[in-house]
Structure 1
Amino acid sequence: MAWSTKQLAKLAGTTVKAIRHYHEIELLDEPHRASNGYKQYEVRHLVSLLRITRLTDLGMPLAQIAAMGRVDVDPDVALRELDEELKVTIARLSRVRAELSLLLGQRSSTDMPAGLGPLVADLSETDRSMLLVYSRVFGLAELRDLRQNMVDMRTNSAAGEFDALPPDADEATRQTLAEQYAPQLSALISRYPWMSDRGSRTLHGAAFTERTIRQALGDLYNPAQLDVYGRIRRML
């Protein structure tokens, strides 16, 4: 007795489309055809197909399954390679689940790096955007310092005034804000000395980091706010 393609697919728990694909890539031998042209599958085809579906269910790529059929390939090697790949995948998925747990259980941010999301809920949108840029040029330890710096700066009574500063703010207003912020920023730099030499802690080199930060500041803050920052830097 022989089986049709549809019957073979049913027995193997797969699809006719999958069987045809296995024929196309020469993973499954073509069967003989009856006089009416219909394919006639035998037990050997079913056994081969069951082996293929078993390995694909385990996550093995078809190319590896094909290689396992060669006499010069040790099947245990392919299985060990698959096992190592699965270890990496499981570790990655475990990290993702841990992050999802934080996102679901706390006020967190989906755009922040792992380990930082739950810490940024109390920052302004501009600060969060700036911190996200920082995440591409600094490591997690530096990001935590920068985040704390942003939070501490928010305790300044002038924080709201700085956020609302119009682009055409007058000279006196800019200077007053700079003078209010300078002592606090000086104290923060003393607490985090690396901030005065950011290039020493960057992931991509000092020049690239400074260009990236300057561009981000230019996009996120208006001219008057940038001028206040410049005045503070000159004071320090």
Structure 2
Amino acid sequence: MAWSTRELANLAGTTVNTIRHYHRLGLLDVPEREYNGYKQYEVRHLVRLLRIRRLVSLGVPLSQIGEVSAGGDSTTDALVEVDAELAARIEGLQRARSDIAAVLRDSAPADTPAGFESVASRLSEADSSIIHIYRQLYDEDAMADLRNMVDADTDAVGNEIAALPANADEIARQQLANRLAPVLARNMIDYPWLTNPAAHLSKSPHITQQTFIEAMVELYNPAQLDVLVRASVLAHEQLLDPNDENGVGR
């Protein structure tokens, strides 16, 4: 019994192009051709092809199939490595399913930063963008704390800052800064690492600072940045003053 390339592909549940690819890689011998020029595959080719497909189904890279199928010394190491990669992929898929469930549960935008689905409605476009960037700069503990900060902030000041036009007047800026400062001061008390985040950085301090500055300038207009800077200064002053009227000093 002999089969054509297409017949062999159908038997093995693969494609003609896949068989030709295996030929090019030297994984599958090229059979002799008949007088009409067509390749004629035998049982040994079918068995070899099925063995290759079995290893592919296990996740063995094509570059390692020759060694693994030959039972070489590196077979065990190769399989252990493949198993570790599969475990990582499974973990990633499970995490993706969990994130999708959170997005659906909270009716959040699909591109909401992971972990912030339930508070997505409180985030401006700029806030959501900066949180995405934070996830590349800070560790998971820091992101969990940030999520708690957003959850605890029930004041509408964030929305007002988001709506602040670039040409906002002095009075509007100062009023917003005055309202935001106690919130920032309270966060600094509850999460002391905010004043010295080195232990929570996933990138170098230089890269973190440079990325943070560039992101803030790009994502917030001049008036919003002015409010954030003023509020930060006021928050630090309130922390230094144990008798501040907002009661956040220490």
- TM-score, with structure 2 as normaliser: 0.77
| Contact 1:111/1:117, CA 8 A, preserved across alignment | no
Aligned pair 1:146/2:151, yes or no? no
Partner of 1:129: 129
Q: Which amino acid aligns with 1:204?
A: K
Tell me if structure 1 keeps the 8 A contact 2:173–2:223. Answer: yes
Tell me the number of residue pairs that the alignment of Structure 1 and Structure 2 aligns. 235
Aligned to 2:167: 168
8 Å CA contact retained: 1:199, 1:209: no
Q: Is the 8 A contact 1:103 1:117 kept in 2?
A: yes
Residue number in structure 2 paired with 1:223: 222
- Which deviates the most, 96-105 or 198-207? 198-207
Shift of 1:155: 0.7
Question: Is the CA contact 1:138–1:203 (under 8 Å) kept in the aligned structure 2?
Answer: yes
| Unaligned segments of structure 2, at least 5 residues | 238-250
**1:50 counterpart residue number:** 50
Distance in 2, Cα, partners of 1:124 & 1:203 = 25
Q: Distance in 2 between matches of 1:228 and 1:89?
A: 44
The SS at the match of 2:174 is helix
Contact 2:124 2:159 in 1 (8 A): no
Give the match for residue 62 of structure 1: 62
Instruction: Say what the alpha-carbon RMSD is for the aligned residues.
Output: 2.8
- The answer to whether the aligner puts 1:232 opposite 2:231 as a matched pair is yes
> Equivalent residue for 1:82?
82
Q: Using the TM superposition, give the Cα deviation of residue 152 of structure 1 relative to its aligned residue in structure 2, in angstroms.
A: 4.7
In the other structure, the counterpart of 1:201 is 200
Tell me, yes or no, if the aligned pair for 1:165 and 1:224 is still in contact at 8 Å: yes
Q: Residue 162 of structure 1 contacts residue 225 of structure 1 at CA under 8 Å; is this kept in 2?
A: yes
1:159-209 CA-partner distances (Å, limit 9, x unpaired): 554344332333333333333333343233222222222344322233332
Q: Secondary structure at the match of 1:133?
A: helix
The whole-number CA distance in structure 1 between the counterparts of 2:74 and 2:142 is: 48
Q: Name the aligned partner's letter for residue 180 of structure 2.
A: Y
Preserved contact between residue 188 and residue 194 of structure 2 (Cα < 8 Å): yes
* 2:180 equivalent to 1:185: no
- Structure 2 CA distance for partners of 1:43 and 1:181, relative to 1, 3 Å: closer
Could you say if the C-alpha distance between residues 130 and 89 of structure 1 is closer, same or farther in structure 2, counting changes exceeding 3 Å?
closer
> Is the CA contact (8 Å cut-off) linking 1:103 and 1:110 kept in structure 2?
yes
Inter-partner Cα distance in structure 2 for 1:63 and 1:79: 13
Whole-Å separation in 2 of the counterparts to 1:130 and 1:89: 27
Structure 1 match to 2:245: none
| TM-aligned CA distance change 1:160 to 1:50, over 3 Å | closer
Residues 180 and 104 of structure 1: CA distance in aligned 2, closer, same or farther (over 3 Å): closer
Counterpart of 2:97, as a letter, is R
Letter in 1 for 2:193: W
- What's the TM-score once normalised by structure 1's chain length? 0.81
Equivalent residues of 1:127, 1:150 under 8 A apart: no
User: Hey, what's the Cα distance between the residues in 2 that align with 1:63 and 1:160?
Assistant: 55
**What is the distance in 1 between the residues matched to 2:177 and 2:57?**
64
CA contact (8 A) 1:68 1:78 kept: yes
Cα distance 1:64–1:193, how it changes in 2: closer, same or farther (>3 A)? same
Aligned partners of 1:12 and 1:49 also within 8 Å: yes
